Amino acid sequence: MISIRNLCVEIGDFNLKNANIDVFDGEYMVMVGPTGAGKTVILESIAGLCPLTGGQVLLRGMDVTGLPPDKRRISIVYQDHALFPHLSVQENILFGLKVRKVEKKEQERMLEKVVSLLSISSLLHRSPPTLSGGERQKSAMARALCVEPDLLLLDEPLSALDPKGREDVQEKLVNIKRSLKLTTVHVTHDFEEAIALGDRICVIGEGEVKQTGSPEEIFRRPDSEFVARFAMARNIFTGVTVVSKEGEGCQFRTDGVTFSAMEGVKEANRAVVRPEEVVVSVNPLEEGKMENVFSGQISGISDKGATLLITVDLPPPISILITRREFMHLNPVMGMMAYVGFPASAVHLFHENTL
């Protein structure tokens, strides 16, 4: 297991405060957060490439905070691949084994292993500048894996790729995850990427760890407005919990409407309803089927390609994500009266510290 304890880093204006993160053996942890949130700094701190102002990095219980990067057995793959431009792909892949003076036979065995895992045998004698984005990223991953690290760090490995390269590299990442069971920390600003790949997700923002949990937890049960917004929850309401008893259902009042919720959270002042959990109809909805049924005027229609976002003013405004087929069936127009409904289980309450 890798444990980061009270990690503090200060670089220029950037300030990371008391970050605590645990990554279990064989786990694929995705660290997600907006650009400039400090994700790369955390990776470089784990690798020993960034000076710490405080805290510890523990690798399998051993404090490695004072160890130089070459003694940690932690590999890093950067967003822009960082292949050595003066070496061929094969020389790049074997770099780590050569500097460690590993026997030639072992070098050949490892080369064959990573090359077949990433399907890059045709690239071995190519020079990095002649490769496509996806090919470069796969070569950089092969180089990182060739030294058999205890921990693999991936810094936005898909961000600089075109959609085809992205799909290809993502598939390879899933392959690596399944076959090697290697402890991995992958950072990204893309929440969908985090959901698709992560065993667990750690949300970083404003120089601190905001929430760590399974994709399901982060997606459905954010514990702050920051995480809810980052998880594209869209419908975040400010209000008060009217009846709240631990373990029982409760009600949440916001802007003149009251939502029924399953969870009872004391002093909850925020409610989140994911837009894909809400149904919309031009005909009245049956009240018995869902605990929360409202009506209002359609105040916005936003085309997202495969899906559309409809906004209905209850008031307050609530966004509903529907498929294009549903849209054709519904045929909504601005100003039209619409009925919306969602179950109490779709309402997630939490307390946002507003101090």
Partner 1 sequence: MKTLFLLLGLVLLAFLTVPVAKMVLASDPVILIETFLDKEVLAAIFLTLYAALIATVIGFIFGTPLAYLLAKTDFRGKRFVEGLIDLPLVIPHSAAGIALLFVFGRNYFMGKAFGAIGLKFLDSLGGIVIAMLFVSVPFLIDSARDGFQKVDKRLENVARTLGATRWQTFLRVSFPLAWRSIVSGNILMWARGISEFGAVIIVAYHPMTAPVLVFERFETYGLDYARPVAVILILIAMTVFVMLRLLLYRGEDR
Q: Which of 75, 90, 137, 254 binds partner 1 (CB under 8 A)?
A: 75
Burial track 24-33 (b if 16+ CB lie within 10 A, e otherwise) = eeebbbbbbb
Q: Which of 10, 17, 34, 49 binds partner 1 (CB under 8 A)?
A: 49
Interatomic CA distance for residues 95 and 147, integer angstroms? 9
> Does residue 86 interact with partner 1 by CB under 8 A?
yes
Q: How many CA atoms, within 13 angstroms, populate the side-chain half-sphere of residue 270?
A: 19
> Does residue 88 interact with partner 1 by CB under 8 A?
no
Residue 314 CB neighbours (<10 A):
18
> Does residue 70 interact with partner 1 by CB under 8 A?
yes
> Does residue 76 interact with partner 1 by CB under 8 A?
yes
Separation in Å, CA 191 to CA 18, 30, 186, 317: 23, 9, 12, 24
Radius of gyration of the chain (CA): 24
Q: Which of 36, 54, 69, 316 binds partner 1 (CB under 8 A)?
A: 69
> Does residue 143 interact with partner 1 by CB under 8 A?
yes
> Does residue 96 interact with partner 1 by CB under 8 A?
yes
**Residue 46 vs 278, nearer CB to partner 1:** 46
State in angstroms the smallest separation of the CB of 96 from partner 1.
Answer: 3
Residue 262 CB neighbours (<10 A):
15
> Does residue 2 interact with partner 1 by CB under 8 A?
no
> Does residue 72 interact with partner 1 by CB under 8 A?
yes
Beta-bridge mates of residue 320: 310
Q: Which of 85, 129, 163, 256 binds partner 1 (CB under 8 A)?
A: 85
Residue 101 makes CB contacts below 8 A (sequence gap 6+) with none
Residues that bind partner 1 (CB under 8 A): 44, 47-49, 68-70, 72, 74-76, 78, 80, 82, 84-86, 95-96, 99-100, 143-144, 147
